[in-house]
């Protein structure tokens, strides 16, 4: 029993970091969805901070959800929630949200 637990833990560590990756992300200010995440999306698209999927976003582009909310889209799921929130805050929002 102990061997199988250690084996599973070793496998989990060997596969690297696991992240929640998203196809859509937006910024929130004062509890409302910020209608202008363009700067955060453009900055995320230029990002190249390593070799993980969320370290680059070559397909990041502005889109619209629910007919009136601008979002940053990444069909290939390159958007990391924590990283996205950092960019939203950097450009004046209270926080970042993602699907």
Inter-CA distances, 26 with 2, 18, 50, 94, Å: 44, 22, 23, 11
Residue 2 lies in a domain: no
Q: Is 86 inside any structural domain?
A: yes
Residue 12 lies in a domain: no
The pLDDT score that the predictor gives to residue 18 is: 60
Question: What is the tens place of the pLDDT at every residue in 85-97?
Answer: 999 999 999 999 9
Residues 28-66 have pLDDT tens digits of 998 777 767 999 999 999 999 999 999 999 999 999 988
- Structural domain span for residue 65: 20-98
Instruction: Report the half-sphere exposure of 89 (CA within 13 A, side-chain side).
Output: 8
| Residue at 15 is within a domain | no
**Integer Cα distance of 25 and 80 in angstroms:** 9
Domain membership flag for residue 78? yes
Q: What is the pLDDT of residue 19?
A: 72
In a domain, 8, yes or no: no
CATH code for position 91:
3.30.70
Return the pLDDT at 17. Answer: 56
Residue 81 lies in a domain: yes
Report how far residue 6's alpha carbon sits from residue 8's, in angstroms, rounded to the nearest whole number: 5
Number of domains in the chain: 1
């Amino acid at each position: 029993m102990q061997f199988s637990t250690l084996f599973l833990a070793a496998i989990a560590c060997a596969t690297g970091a696991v992240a929640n990756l998203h196809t859509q992300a937006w910024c929130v200010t004062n509890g409302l969805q910020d209608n202008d995440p363009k700067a955060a999306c453009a900055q995320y698209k230029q990002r190249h901070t390593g070799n993980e999927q969320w370290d680059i976003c070559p397909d990041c582009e502005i889109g619209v959800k629910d007919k009136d909310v601008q979002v940053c889209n990444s069909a290939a799921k390159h958007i990391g929630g924590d990283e996205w929130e950092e960019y939203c805050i950097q450009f004046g929002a209270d926080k970042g949200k993602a699907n």
